[in-house]
Amino acid sequence: MAKPGTDQARKAAWRLLQGVRDGRSLSDQAEGLGTLSVSDQARAARLAATALRHRARAEAVIAAHVNRKPTPQVADVLILATVELLELKAAAHGVVDAAVTLTRSLGKRGQAAAGMVNAVLRKVSAHQDWDRMPPQRLPDWLRRPIAAQWGKDVAKAIEAAHQQPAPLDLTPKPAAETLPEAETLPTGSLRIAGPVQVSALPGFEAGAWWVQDAAAALPVRLLNPQQGQRIADLCAAPGGKTLQLAAAGAEVTAVDISAPRLKRLSQNLRRCGLTAEIVTADALNWRPKGGLDAILLDAPCSATGTIRRHPDLPFLRDGSGIADLVALQAQLIDHALDLLPAGGRMVYAVCSLLFEEGEDQIRAALTRHEGLQVLHPDLPGIDPAWITPEGGLRLRPDYWPERGGMDGFYLAHLQKPT
């Protein structure tokens, strides 16, 4: 029989999947897990994320054993249990019993479906081909441009990368001690494989590091901030890049339109013993009180490079609104360049896999701004194949497959003419 805490985590995971069906992201639903223990919160979040990574495969297995399509509520029970059985290799007896109990708790329809759930899952538990099934496909609105950009083999490689949970990456403060359980990546980030409790890691309370994907740490490394330089971090929240800039000794102004997200940034600055000026404002309307040496612009984007960390994204978005994002990015680039003096530098970054938000965006900016140049990316650990024809840096989830991959990013280091 499953432990009560385990059943609570399963039911919470089921609620998370129902929330995604209703259009709410997993992160937006995180506060709703607050009544659970820390371990059950983590288990529920992991189970829901795993179910979303493998939902299409689970649905295909389930479909072979049902006569008619179940209700969304019952379907999510079946998906969670199928993923536990076939992907997480959990013991069949406990998983099936818990799924039947959860189904019965869903009212009259659930009680009527409990027998079907029991029968289907007993058949699913004997399934032999799970590991040979292809990874979950990207939605067409995203797969088409990826295949057009890099070919179908790369699209398949990215889908395979999305199937694996992202490891935990940390950015250490300069001279911080390396965590014994962490691998030091070629670009300088620390990586820990497997689920861990972040707040229990050595150095958390002392602020020796912060959580930040290895790819997300590269824009600041590309900007190469120096002691005393005046740098604006536009669209700064949740703040990992602000922390990097401040740790390098720069005088940082962090600008973001979201006050709640900046509150989290303030908390991380305090934990890490770092300082920055925090401004709640629309970056398009903000102007500095004094001069700037450089700008980091991590622009709003489709976030299509972060699916390995946010497997709910393909189920929440349909590709609409990207044209508006591209227009906003161009406005932000133009405004940021206007804030810089002659010779001033800027790093533009987006966690997107789409050329129109990355490579095409920078090529258009070079056309609009005479004399603007892209500085060659020269960083430790960078594969020359990641450098794009216009001089930017393209990062993809299928890079570093032997290390656990990375988020998809595009970044470019720009300099105004002197």
Tokens for 79? 């998906």
Burial class (CB in 10 A: 0-12, 13-18, 19+), 26: buried
Tokens for 192? 């820990």
**Which residue in 235, 272, 301, 351 is the catalytic one?**
351
CA distances for 125 relative to 2, 96, 197, 251, angstroms: 17, 9, 31, 58
CA distance 198 to 79: 28
CA distances for 387 relative to 100, 223, 224, 380, angstroms: 52, 16, 17, 13
Q: Are 203 and 242 spatial neighbours (Cβ–Cβ below 8 Å)? A: no
Kind and range of the H or E element at 95?
helix 92-104
Catalytic: 351?
A: yes
Cα 128 to its chain centre, rounded Å, is: 31
Q: Which of 156, 184, 300 is nearest to 237 (CA)?
A: 300
The number of CA neighbours under 13 Å toward the Cβ of 208 is 15
Question: Tokens 């030091």 — which residue?
Answer: 184
CA distance 329 to 272: 31
Residue 131, helix vs strand vs coil: helix
CA distance 335 to 281: 14
Residue 49, helix vs strand vs coil: helix
Catalytic residues: 351
